Structures are given as C-alpha cells and as structure tokens.
Structure 1
Amino acid sequence: MRPPRTSAARLLGAFEPGSPEWEEARSGAMVTATDVAAIVGLSPWMSPFSLWHHKVGTVRADSAPNAAMSWGSRLEPVIADAFAEAHPDLVVHATGTWENGARPWQRATPDRILAPEAGGLPSVLEIKTSRYGEGFGEPGTGAVPVYYRCQVLWQLDTLGLETAHVAVLIAGQDYREYVVRYDEDEAAFLREQAVAFLAGVASGTPPPLDGHAATYRTAQRLPGGVEEVVADISPAIAEAYRAALLDHRRAEEAKRAASAAVLAAMGPAKKYQAGGLLVATRTVREDGTTRSLIPHPSYVKAAAA
C-alpha cells in the first residue's frame, strides 16, 4: 500500500540505508532531518563543523552502524507494530525520502507515515530506542530530547504536516509514546539556520571550531599527509592549548579525589544514591576490590542542567 500523499512534498523513493542512492539523497547542498540538529548545535553525534566537512566531501561520513544503531534498526519494525496495535484507527505506512516542493534542498525520511482510517491529515511516526530514557519526559506529552524535536519538526515542515508521534522503547522494556505538534516559529528558525549553513557550504566557509567530540574527530581526519617541517601557529592558539591542558590535568586530579571520597563513603555497596537519585555503580574484581566507578548518565545530566 502506497503512503498517503502530501501536497507540500514529493516522495523521491525508498532507499536502503548505506546504499549509493541513500547517500546521494542525503549529501551535498541539501539538509535532512538528521542534519538540522547538528546545524543548530544540538546533536550529540555531529557538530556543525563535522557536518560541513561531510557535505563538502573533505571527510567522508562514517555510515557504518554501531551496536546501538544496529539494534535500533532491528527493533524499528517491532516498535512500529506495537504502535499500530495501540492505534487501530491509524494505518501505518512504510515510506522513504521526501523533498519539499518549494524548497528542494529540504529533505526528510520519517520512519513511518500514519493515515487516519476515517480520513484527514496524515501524521509522522518516528521510532527510537534509548538505553536510559534521557531527555524523555511524561508519556503522552511532547517532552522528547531536543535533538529529536528538531528532527521531527523538520519532518513536519518538509512534508507540510501538523503532528508527529514518537514511539520509544527504553531499556528494552519501557514502551512510551509522545506527540510533537508543528511550531511555525521553531520551523522558521531551523530553516533560517539551514539556509545560512548551506551558504557556507556553497562559499567554502566552514563553521567555527567548537568543543564537540565530532569536531575533534573530523579535524583528525582532515587530509594533508605529513611533512618534515615545523609549522608556525599564532601564540594565542598555542596559549589556549596550554591552558586547556592545565585545566584538563586539574580536572582529572579533582575527579580522582572526588572518586576516592565516593568509594570511601560507599564501603562494600555496589551502588549509591544521593537525594533519591542513583549516582554511580561500582564494578568489582573477583577479590571484591573496585575495578571502576561508573557514573549514572541521568545523574550527570541532572547535575549539569
């Protein structure tokens, strides 16, 4: 069964992830729903700098799935089935890559398209898996991680739709649903940022460097080879590097001191909490001594908020 049509966009096709057609539909002077969170600096996986280099082709994007991505793909149809069972009034359609009719550079590949059996406007279904459920709030609301919100808003804006459903399986057993409504102001902001980013791609002007891990990985992979020469860089860059090294050493020392204090306070306990929040888990060797102290991600994020 073909997915429902939308007057705002056209379906380019359903491409196998990683295939040449899939790569072509996502590369070059266009912005996908996955790209847009990186463009506005909210993606945990890409930075504006790393995405820019992928777009201009100086560094090839790593399309090999990691374990989390691989299992997410395997579980996608299972989660889609769970959503369909919970919503017999909606017909769940497989879909592909869509291109906005007025803005051909704007593309999106939602996981599913939903059509009400009684007629009416289609909606989008985005499917996620999460280890700890970080960033997901009360089920039934729009409280999804901000980078996923960017993604589904871009999908809605591309297809000209009003509603996105987000189905997520947390820790392999906690199934939840969320609803994100189209927001014209947010969508306009994302488009403005995307247009500015594409202008930088066209002019050959990369975004500023930042502290994102993807920025550093991209800088490492930039082509250039090795020449037996000594490069002169500005004293300001060199001083910033020296200061960062010193800050890092001090931070490592402070982390070791704090970890030692935690272990001393924990005694033989495997886990510890503070203020009702799980803070960390201790892994041990066969003799009961500590191998490592693993902080709980939700506590770290709550402390940083």
Structure 2
Amino acid sequence: MLTATAGTARRLGRFRPDSRRGRKERRGRLGGSSIAAVIGKSPWASPYSEWCLQKGLIQPEPSTPEQMRGHYLEPGIRAWFADQHPEFTVRSGGTYVHVERDYQLASPDALCFQDGVLVEGAEFKTDADAYGSGWGRPGTDEVPLYYRVQVVWYMDTFGVPRWRFGLLDGRLSFREYVIEYDAVEAAILRDAAEDFLASVFWDEMPDLDPHPATYATVRKLHPKIDRDATVQLPPVLAAELRAAVLDVGAAETRKRLVLSKVGTFMGNARRAMHGGYDYALRQLSSKGLPYVKPDNHLDQVPPPDLPDDTTEEAA
C-alpha cells in the first residue's frame, strides 16, 4: 500500500474508527481520544474501558448524536477556518502514525501546509452550550483539558509546534483557539502510553474506578444472567455496598465504583448474598444489558463481620 508522510507521521489511510479496518489499525495503538482515556482525562472513556477495548473484550460504542452532529457540521467549520487562514493550504486529515513510535496514532480533522510543508494542524468542534462549556476566550489556549491532551498528542505525532481549534458554539458563532506544543506534556503522555500498552501486553487489567465508562464496561463484560447462580460477597465488599446504599449523601462516583466492584465479582450470577441476606440482584435494563440493583432492605441487614484490621466505611 502506498503511503505518504506529513512531518514525522506516516499516513495509513482514511477510514472510520468503528469500521473493521479502523478497529484493526487501532489495535495496539493509541489515538488522541484514547490517550486522554489512558490518563483519566476523558469524559467518555476510562483507563479500564480503554484497556478492555484494546484487548478486544468489548466493541467500540456507536457514534452518539453529538458526535454525528459534529461530523455533519465539520465541512462548514473547515471552510470557515480556511477562509480565516489564507496563508495555509488546508487539507482534510486521515489516519497517521508516528514514523518511529508506531503506537502513536493521530486522526486530525485538518492539516495546514505552507509551500508543501506541514506547519500546523487543526481540529473542528461543536458545542451546544451557547457559551461553550469548558471553552475560554477566543484566541487563547483555554480549551477543555481532554481536547488539549488530544492535540498535544497530535503535535507530538506530526512534529509540529502548534495546533488550532475551530469551534462552532451554541450561538452559531465561530471561535478559534491556539495550542502551543509542550515537550514536557508530550513526554508525560508517551510514558503513560507505553506503560498502558505494556499492561495490555502482559494482561495486567487496570483497577476499577468510578468513571461511568468503567461501570458500562463491567456490564458489557457480563451480558448474560444465570438465574440459578448466587454468589456470596466477601465481608469487605458487602460492607462497601451496604455503606454506599445507606449513606444518602454518598457521592455518585463512590456508589458507581462499588457497583462496578460488585458487578465484577458477580460475573453472570443473578443474586449476591452475604450472611444469609440478599444484597443485590442483576437485572436487565431496557437496553438489554444487566445492571446491579442493591436490595431494597439493606437498611434492615446487620453490618457484616469484618476482619479486625478493617472497618465498614461510612456505615
């Protein structure tokens, strides 16, 4: 297959990330969205969900309505951006990898050339919030952190000093933001990427975390319900679940983490018990994936007997 280079990146081609070709090319590699997940800065994915995706344990999610909106509006934002920058030849992107670090993947919205030489890149975003949630003053580098991570990764992949954002906000106003390359940030991302991919190779699954994507992944990993199967929760896990349910002021993140732990422990089992009491059931949601439902009567269940060196958290 013929390839072309742009800066320090080699072009793989053009394909949808959720296509068969896209999944194949992305296996063992990390793109801009993936590296944000790896370092825990993505609102859509977690280290745990990204790890399971890399291992082929789950499939990529279909595009959301918001993502499809951005896809359809992208050509208009690109045209606006090109009009603002006659000094550039603005070309649509594709999928690239670093010429030496093959794990470093980038799928930019646009690349900016001068006299045939790549000098910058650009991303085009939409934000339904009239004020652009997470976006600061136009012309600055005040962008949502996960987008900053994405373009620092891209700059490091292509070897360029600058990346721009074209934003269409909820008022249908265009804005531009500029991010300068930071070698320290890039090195941190590369180190995190190499550690993460090593964990994939050695089958070292990340710890569970409170991210919504982690709980969603746990549900995907156990899509069936064995209605005859019951598990006995260990005392510490039973205490965590009971405490999270009874503490009405508990943060949603804490409850979600406990549900991820319980769901992982239950596997495909329908019921979880401890000390002769029901603690949770796995039930089908309207979308067909089981979820963990704590028992309604945990307030009537005595606290589990914990080991001497353990206390029931927030009991």
Structure 2-normalised TM-score? Answer: 0.74
Taking the aligned partners of 1:186 and 1:57, their CA distance within structure 2 comes to: 29
Of 72, 75, 86, the match for 2:73? 75
- The verdict on how the C-alpha distance between 1:12 and 1:120 changes in structure 2, with shifts beyond 3 A counting, is closer
Corresponding residue SS for 2:89: strand
**Structure 2 regions of 5+ residues with no counterpart?**
253-315
| Aligned residue in 1 for 2:301 | none
Q: Report the alpha carbon displacement of residue 247 of structure 1 after superposing the two structures with TM.
A: 2.7
1:144-183 map, 5 Å: 144-183=143-182
| Aligned residue in 2 for 1:92 | 90
**1:128 and 2:125 equivalent?**
yes
| Aligned residue in 2 for 1:245 | 245
**1:213 and 2:212 equivalent?**
yes
- The verdict on how the C-alpha distance between 1:233 and 1:127 changes in structure 2, with shifts beyond 3 A counting, is same
Q: Report the alpha carbon displacement of residue 108 of structure 1 after superposing the two structures with TM.
A: 0.5
Letter in 1 for 2:69: W
Q: Report the alpha carbon displacement of residue 84 of structure 1 after superposing the two structures with TM.
A: 0.7
- The verdict on how the C-alpha distance between 1:140 and 1:4 changes in structure 2, with shifts beyond 3 A counting, is farther
| Aligned residue in 1 for 2:19 | 19
Moved more, 203-212 or 37-46: 203-212
- Give CA-to-partner distance per residue, 1:236-265, whole Å, 9 cap, x none: 11211112112346779xxxxxxxxxxxxx
Conserved in 2, the CA contact under 8 Å of 1:4 and 1:113? Answer: no
Letter in 1 for 2:31: T
**Structure 1 regions of 5+ residues with no counterpart?**
253-305
Corresponding residue SS for 1:157: helix
| Aligned residue in 1 for 2:289 | none
Figure out how many residues of one structure are paired with residues of the other and give that number: 247
Taking the aligned partners of 1:115 and 1:224, their CA distance within structure 2 comes to: 48
Q: Report the alpha carbon displacement of residue 6 of structure 1 after superposing the two structures with TM.
A: 3.0
Taking the aligned partners of 1:197 and 1:171, their CA distance within structure 2 comes to: 36
Taking the aligned partners of 1:251 and 1:51, their CA distance within structure 2 comes to: 24
Letter in 2 for 1:91: T
Conserved in 2, the CA contact under 8 Å of 1:11 and 1:97? Answer: yes
Structure 1-normalised TM-score? Answer: 0.76
| Aligned residue in 2 for 1:113 | 111
- Give CA-to-partner distance per residue, 1:27-60, whole Å, 9 cap, x none: x211111101100001000011111111101111
| Aligned residue in 2 for 1:263 | none
Letter in 2 for 1:90: F
Conserved in 2, the CA contact under 8 Å of 1:39 and 1:47? Answer: yes
Taking the aligned partners of 1:127 and 1:235, their CA distance within structure 2 comes to: 50
Conserved in 2, the CA contact under 8 Å of 1:139 and 1:178? Answer: yes
Taking the aligned partners of 2:251 and 2:206, their CA distance within structure 1 comes to: 28
Flag the structure with higher helix content.
1
Moved more, 4-13 or 197-206: 4-13
- The verdict on how the C-alpha distance between 1:136 and 1:250 changes in structure 2, with shifts beyond 3 A counting, is closer
Q: Report the alpha carbon displacement of residue 231 of structure 1 after superposing the two structures with TM.
A: 1.3
- The verdict on how the C-alpha distance between 1:213 and 1:250 changes in structure 2, with shifts beyond 3 A counting, is closer
Letter in 1 for 2:127: S
Corresponding residue SS for 1:171: coil
**1:203 and 2:202 equivalent?**
yes
Conserved in 2, the CA contact under 8 Å of 1:4 and 1:122? Answer: no
Taking the aligned partners of 2:251 and 2:158, their CA distance within structure 1 comes to: 47
Taking the aligned partners of 1:222 and 1:35, their CA distance within structure 2 comes to: 20
Corresponding residue SS for 1:122: strand
Corresponding residue SS for 1:138: coil
State the Cα RMSD in Å. 2.0
